[in-house]
């Protein structure tokens, strides 16, 4: 979400042009480095499975979480403790709550 905010600010500065270069702010480097490490695991055998019985979509923000599966929706707000968590942790919690719900 921090990257999205930085992208939004860069687009404002460039008057909506995606052709302009965007500097990477230091405050999102932690997220980028986390994803860089996580990509190493993206070629696991789990990604090779193509026969899904169900498909669940989940998302998180700093306010709450939401999920969608088979035409049903689930959502919730974070409590004060959860709101202090890193966005990556919130995304994992959203996925966990979605799995519990569906």
- Domain coordinates of the chain in residue numbers? 1-43, 53-102
Q: For residue 36, what pLDDT is reported?
A: 83
Residue 13 has pLDDT above 70, yes or no: yes
Please state which of the ranges 19-23, 41-45, 65-69, 90-94 shows the lowest mean pLDDT.
Answer: 41-45
Condensed to tens digits (0 to 9), the pLDDT of residues 14-27 reads 999 999 998 888 88
Condensed to tens digits (0 to 9), the pLDDT of residues 68-87 reads 999 999 999 999 999 999 99
Integer Cα distance of 95 and 56 in angstroms? 9
CA angle 83, 88, 89 (to 5 degrees): 55
């Amino acid at each position: 979400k921090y990257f999205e905010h930085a992208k939004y600010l860069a687009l404002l500065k460039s008057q909506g042009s995606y052709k302009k270069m965007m500097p990477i702010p230091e405050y999102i480097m932690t997220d980028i480095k986390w994803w860089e490490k996580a990509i190493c695991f993206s070629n696991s055998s789990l990604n090779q499975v193509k026969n899904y019985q169900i498909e669940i979509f989940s998302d998180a923000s700093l306010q709450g979480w939401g999920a969608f599966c088979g035409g049903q929706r689930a959502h919730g707000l974070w409590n004060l403790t959860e709101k202090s968590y890193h966005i990556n942790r919130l995304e994992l919690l959203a996925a966990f709550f979605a799995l519990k719900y569906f």
